[in-house]
Amino acid sequence: MCFSASASFIAGATLTVIGVASIKKTKKPSEIPFASIPLLFALQQITEGFVWLSLTNPDYAFLEGFSAHAFIFFAQVVWPFWVPFSFLKFEQNKDSNITGKLLVGTGAILAAVLAYYLFTYPVKAEVLGSHISYNQDYPERFRLLGGLLYVVVTIAPPFISSMKKTWILGSTIFLSYIITEIFYTQYIVSVWCYFAALLSSLVLWIIVSNKKNRV
């Protein structure tokens, strides 16, 4: 989370409740990956709560390396694959969704590359003002292409989905990305993940809205 350990833990606890409720509202196993999004964001926010503790309290300094890597693992390895995969599974007509399958494949490759970089290049977290900045020494030649693919695979799925109201989730997350890019460039990983985590609460609403149409 981008403001404090307590805010991270509160967000994590709230999203856990929403995630459990979302899963309980599912009617088919194929809906569970999508319904699990708030729960995964809850875990991510809890890990950043420990990043905050490790950076602001010497008694928890030993947690910095693990918690920072865990947070980045969610941000850069889990989400590029999980978002397109969960939307594809949520679809009624999976077989004809060629674009969705391409996004899943691209997300899987991107997640694998980012996982390699995560565990072979140093990651350093530090508090700057009221936010956490994650410094990652990734190859410069990968940053532009990798960043572009990341935005595509995490934002495009809600817009190509045939399910009701997913475009609203996509629009709000895209807007949050633009706001973060403009005002929180130095903290984009932490701040955008926090915004996306809060917006993931819309998953429950989308599942309930689509429930009557699911067989």
Model confidence over 98-136: pLDDT tens digits?
899 999 999 999 999 999 999 999 889 998 878 898 988
Q: So what's the pLDDT on residue 205?
A: 92
Q: Two tokens at 34? A: 């999508």
Q: What is the pLDDT of residue 96?
A: 61
Q: Looking at residue 94, what is its pLDDT? A: 66
pLDDT tops 90 at residue 37: yes
Residue 215 has pLDDT above 70, yes or no: no
The mean pLDDT value for 134-154 works out to 88
* DSSP 8-state secondary structure symbol assigned to residue 76: I
Q: What is the reported pLDDT for 211? A: 72
Alpha carbons 138 and 25: distance in angstroms, whole number: 40
pLDDT at 191 over 90: no
Does pLDDT of 1 surpass 60?
no
For residue 161, is pLDDT > 60? Answer: yes
Which pLDDT score, from 0 to 100, does residue 167 have? Answer: 93
Q: Count how many residues are written for the chain.
A: 215
Q: Are 75 and 52 in contact (CB under 8 A)?
A: no
Q: What number of CA atoms fall less than 13 Å from residue 38's CA on the CB side?
A: 25
Q: Across all residues in the chain, what is the average pLDDT? A: 89
